[in-house]
């Protein structure tokens, strides 16, 4: 297929927003050499695909970050469920909260919905931090440490030491699996950091699609009843719905 001028312009618009995080319509129009009405139409296309969000004064990039393999398979698997879960989780978070977000793909989908909201966000995720950094309404605190190349999250003893000084109302964690013994992830350093996040939080919310339940991974994060809420899609098996509720977990099933 031959690339048209409008295709190249939209590709450049996408690159500019991805690189900067935020831009005004005037800046985009001047940089692309087109009218603001043309930019506005192109931006609406990105808004429609979830890659951008309009706000007073300009446009935020809310698509996936460049060169992160974590987001390479967005079009496959359980991504629609992840979006639904993120929508449900966002409705549970009130403006003005102090929250902690880890670096999972579902928590990134949640962060996209939090752009422009008045929140205090602590995160160990470079993609999440990049997404929220351009928002004047969000106070952003980044957890330092060793950066895991595939996911762009900070891990290890420096991250854990930082988290000793942090207290948040809610930690939102992703998982690789769950069985009767609890929740799991596949990286030992990540699990140790998530355990530090749990200690730093008044309450913990797990966001995970239904495919994660019924399978363990390398390292256990905590027991089933050690989190206050789980947000999942409606494909979660009835047996797991009963098991979580019996463990005292507030289970929220996304529409």
**pLDDT of 172-183, one tens digit each?**
999 999 999 999
Domain identity same for 128 and 183: yes
Domain of residue 185, residue span: 69-254
Domain boundary among 61, 88, 106: 61
Domain identity same for 15 and 141: no
Domain identity same for 163 and 95: yes
Whether 119 shows a pLDDT value over 60: the answer reads yes
Domain identity same for 76 and 29: no
**Residue-wise burial string across 158-188, b where 16 or more C-beta atoms lie within 10 A, e elsewhere:** ebbebbeebebebbbbbbbbbbeebbbbebe
Domain boundary among 61, 92, 108: 61
Domain boundary among 36, 61, 86: 61
Higher per-residue pLDDT: 39 or 102: 102
Domain identity same for 11 and 45: yes
**Quick one: tokens of 58?**
């300009």
Higher per-residue pLDDT: 48 or 152: 152
Average pLDDT, stretch 182-206? Answer: 95
CATH number at residue 23: 1.10.10.10
**Quick one: tokens of 189?**
């350093």
Q: pLDDT value at position 67?
A: 46
Q: Is 246 exposed, middle or buried (0-12, 13-18, 19+ CB in 10 A)?
A: exposed
Q: Is the dihedral of CA 188, 190, 191, 197 positive or negative?
A: positive
Q: pLDDT value at position 64?
A: 61
Q: Which residues contact 224 (CB under 8 A, 6 or more apart)?
A: 178, 180, 181, 182, 183, 243, 244, 247, 249
Domain identity same for 216 and 113: yes
Domain identity same for 127 and 187: yes
Per mean pLDDT, which of 3-7, 54-58, 147-151 is the most reliable? 147-151
Q: Which residues contact 136 (CB under 8 A, 6 or more apart)?
A: none
Higher per-residue pLDDT: 139 or 20: 139
**pLDDT of 57-95, one tens digit each?**
678 777 665 544 455 444 445 678 998 999 999 999 999
Domain identity same for 153 and 228: yes
Q: pLDDT value at position 84?
A: 94
pTM of the model: 0.76
**pLDDT of 133-156, one tens digit each?**
878 889 999 999 999 877 889 999
Residue 124: which of 195, 186, 184 has the closest Cα?
Answer: 195
């Amino acid at each position: 297929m031959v690339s048209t001028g409008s295709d190249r312009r939209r590709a450049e618009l996408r690159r500019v927003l991805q690189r900067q995080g935020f831009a005004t319509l005037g800046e985009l129009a001047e940089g692309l050499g087109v009218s603001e009405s043309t930019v506005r139409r192109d931006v609406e296309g990105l808004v429609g695909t979830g890659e951008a969000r309009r706000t007073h004064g300009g446009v935020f990039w809310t698509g996936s970050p460049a060169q992160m393999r974590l987001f390479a398979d967005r079009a496959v698997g359980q991504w629609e469920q992840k979006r639904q879960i993120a929508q449900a989780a966002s409705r549970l978070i009130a403006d003005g909260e102090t929250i902690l977000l880890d670096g999972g793909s579902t928590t990134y989908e949640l962060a996209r919905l939090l752009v422009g909201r008045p929140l205090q966000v602590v995160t160990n995720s470079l993609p999440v931090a990049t997404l929220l950094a351009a928002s004047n309404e969000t106070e952003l605190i980044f957890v330092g440490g060793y950066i895991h190349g595939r996911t762009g999250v900070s891990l290890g003893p420096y991250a854990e030491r930082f988290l000793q000084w942090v207290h948040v109302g809610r930690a939102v964690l992703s998982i690789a699996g769950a069985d009767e013994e609890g929740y799991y992830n596949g990286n030992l350093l990540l699990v140790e950091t998530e355990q530090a996040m749990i200690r730093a939080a008044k309450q913990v919310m797990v966001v995970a699609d239904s495919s994660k339940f019924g399978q363990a991974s390398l390292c256990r994060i905590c027991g089933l009843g050690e989190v206050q809420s789980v947000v999942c899609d409606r494909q979660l098996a009835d047996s797991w719905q009963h098991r979580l509720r019996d463990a005292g977990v507030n289970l929220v099933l996304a529409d």
